[in-house]
Amino acid sequence: MSGAKKTKDQEFTGWRSILWPIHDFELKKFLPMAVMMMCILFNYSVLRGTKDSLVTTSMGAKTIPTLKLWFVLPAAVLFMIVYSKLSNAFSKDKVFYIIVSFFIAYFALFATVMYPFHEHLCFDFSNVSSEFLRELLKPVGCWTFSSFYVMAELWGSAMVSLMFWRFANDVTSLKESKRFYSMFGFVANGALIVSGGALKGLTLPCIIATFVISCFIIIALYYWLNTSVLKDPRYYNPEEIKKPKKKEKLSLWESVKYIAGSRYLGFIALLIICYGVSINLVEVVWKDQASLLYPTQDAFKAFMGGLQIWTGIATVLFMLIGTNILRRCTWFTAAMMTPITIIVTGLIFFAFIIFKNELEPVISSFGFSVLGVVTMVGLIQNVLSKGIKYSLFDPTKEQSYIPLDDELKSKGKAAVDVIGGRLGKSGGSLINFVLFNIIFVGSTAVSSVPADSIPVIAIIFVIILALWFFAVSGLNKKFLAITSGNK
C-alpha cells in the first residue's frame, strides 16, 4: 500500500505527463471506466447518425425542431421523473441495470418489428390542408422513425451525461479527475472512428446488433468495477471524495425546490442550455444543406459516418491538448475555450450561407460548388465543436459537480443534465420551429429551411454565446469559493 501511495504521489515528467498521465497501478480502475465510456459513445454515435439519416431523408431537416420540441423534451421530463422514482426505490447499481435494459429492449424491438414493417405501421397526413398542422402531424404519422429519434436522443442524455458521469463522479477524487477525465475521452473517443465505419458499411439491423452487444459489455464492466475493483482502497477511498452527511431521501417536488435554490446548479444548467441551443441553431441549417447534397438515406448515412470518423480523429487529438490544459490552466480558461471555438466556427459557417451569392464566383473559380463548400464548412464546424466539447466542455462541467453534496450530485445532476440538456436542444428547436413554421412560413427556398430565417438565426446565435460567457464567469466564482473552502 505504501509503495502504491508513493507512486501515486509522484509527478509525471516529460512526454508521459503529456500523453499518458496515468499510473500503472491505476489501470485496473481507469481502463474499465474508459472502455465503458467508449461503448456508451459508440452507441450514441451510431444512433445519432442513424436517427439523422432516417428523419432527414424521410421527413426533412425542417422536422427536427418539431421532434425535439414536442417529442424529445416531454420524453426527457418523463425520464427524469421515472429516474427520480427509481433512485428512491432502488440502489444506484439496480437503477443503472434497469435503464440500460430498457434501451436494449426498445432498440431490439425496433430492429425486429418496427423497422421491417415501417410502411405498414405509419400513417399518411399529407392531405391535411394546413401547412402548420401538417408539419406537426408529420412525426406522428412516421412514429416509428420519430420514436427512434427520441430514444437515440435520450441515450445521449441518460447514459452519457447522467449515468456514466454520475458513476465517475462518485468514485473519482478531484485530484484524479484532473488526470482521468480528459483521458477517458482520449481512449473512449476512438469509438467515434469505429462508429463512422459502422455507419458506412453496416445495415440498420446490424448496427442495432452491435448496439446490443455494446450494452452487455457496459453492464459487465460496471458489475466488475463495483464488485471487484472498487472494493480495493487503492482505487476507491471514500475519504478522498467529498461525501455529505447522510440525508433523508427527498420527494420529486422537494428535490426540485432544493435544486431551484442553488445558483451553482443554475450556472451549470445555463452552460448546458447555451451549448444545446447554439449547436442546434447551427446543426439544423447544416443538415438541411447536407440533405440537398446527399438526398438518399444510404448516402446521408454514409456522410454521417464520415462525420463520426473525422469527429473521432479530432477529439482524440483534442484530448491530448485538453488533458494538459485541465492540469496546467485554470478551470475558467479551460471552460472558456468551448464557447470561443463555437462562436468563431459558427459565424464562419453562417457567413458562407448568408453571402453565398457573393462568394459563388470565387468558389466556382476553384472548381467547387457553393453547396459542397457550405456543407464542408458546416462539417468542419461540427467536428471542431464536438471535439472540444468532449475534451474540455464535458470534463470542466463534470469537475464542477465533484465538490457538491450527494443530493445536488444525484438528483441535481439528473435535473440539470437531462432536463437542462433537453431544454438546450429544445430551446434551439423552439427558435427554429417559430422561425420556420410561423414567421418565415411563406419564405421561398430550395431547401426545407427558409433562407430568410438564416440571418436571424445567426443573430440569436451570438446572443446565446454571450449568455454562455456570462455563465462560465459566474460558475467560476462559485467553483473557486467551494474548492478553496469558502462559503
Domain membership flag for residue 302: yes
Tell me the pLDDT band of 323, cut-offs 50, 70 and 90.
Answer: confident
Question: 155 vs 43, 58, 256, 326, 384, CA distance in Å?
Answer: 8, 22, 23, 27, 22
Residue 333 to residue 201: CA distance in whole angstroms: 40
As a whole number of angstroms, the distance between CA 342 and CA 163 comes to: 26
Q: Is residue 167 part of a domain?
A: yes
Residue 347 scores a pLDDT above 90: yes
pLDDT value for 482 = 83
Instruction: Please check whether residue 3 lies inside any domain of the structure.
Output: no
Gap between the Cα atoms of 395 and 476, Å rounded: 14
Give the Å distances, CA to CA, from 126 to 67, 119, 252.
Answer: 17, 15, 41
Res. 145: pLDDT tops 90: yes
304, 49 contact by CB (below 8 A)? yes
Quick one: which H or E segment has residue 286? helix 263-293
Please give the tally of structural domains in the chain: 1
Report the pLDDT value the prediction gives residue 5, as an integer from 0 to 100. Answer: 45
5 in a structural domain: no
What phi-psi label fits residue 60: left (phi over 0), alpha (psi between -120 and 50 degrees) or beta? left
What pLDDT is recorded for position 2? Answer: 42
pLDDT (average), residues 398-407:
79
Dist. CA 114–CA 128, nearest whole Å:
25
Alpha carbons 154 and 162: distance in angstroms, whole number: 10
Domain presence at residue 204: yes
Q: What is the pLDDT of residue 62?
A: 81
Residue 147 has pLDDT above 70, yes or no: yes
> Residue 9 falls within a domain, yes or no?
no
Mean pLDDT of all residues in the chain? 83
pLDDT of 212 strictly over 50:
yes
Per-residue cell: 84 = 427520480
244 located within any domain? no
Inter-residue long-range contacts of 353-362, CB under 8 Å, 24+ positions, other chains counted = 353/285, 353/289, 353/454, 354/454, 354/455, 354/458
Q: How confident is the model at residue 187 (pLDDT cuts 50, 70, 90)?
A: confident
Select the highest-mean-pLDDT range: 12-16, 388-392, 411-415: 388-392
Task: Look at residue 82 in the predicted model and tell me its pLDDT.
Answer: 92
- 84: domain CATH number is 1.20.1250.20
Is residue 235 a contact partner of residue 29, using CB atoms and an 8 Å limit? yes
Instruction: Say whether pLDDT at 388 is over 50.
Output: yes
pLDDT digits (tens, 9 = 90+) for 62-108: 888 888 888 888 898 899 889 989 988 999 899 999 999 999 999 99
How far is the C-alpha of 287 from the C-alpha of 423, rounded, in Å? 21
The CA distance from 304 to 440, in Å, is: 28
Residue 16 included in any domain:
no
How confident is the model over 249-308, as pLDDT tens digits? Answer: 444 455 556 557 788 888 988 898 999 899 989 998 998 888 888 888 888 888 889 888
Q: What is the CA radius of gyration of the chain?
A: 22
DSSP string of 317-369, one letter each residue: HHHHHHHHHHHHS-HHHHHHHHHHHHHHHHHHHHHHHHTHHHHHHHHHHTT--
Question: Which SS3 state, helix, strand or coil, does residue 168 take?
Answer: helix
Helices (H) and strands (E) in the chain, counts: 24, 0
| Residue 146 predicted with pLDDT over 80 | yes
25-37 pLDDT, tens per residue? Answer: 888 898 999 999 9
- Among 213-227, 311-325, 354-368, the range scoring the smallest mean pLDDT is 311-325
Residue 485 falls in which region: left (phi positive, over 0), alpha (psi -120 to 50) or beta: left
Residue 404: what pLDDT?
Answer: 80
Least confident interval from 50-59, 125-134, 308-317, 346-355? 125-134
State the pLDDT confidence band at 12, using cuts at 50, 70 and 90: low
Domain extent at residue 229: 23-239+251-483
Determine the average pLDDT of the residues in 340-356.
93
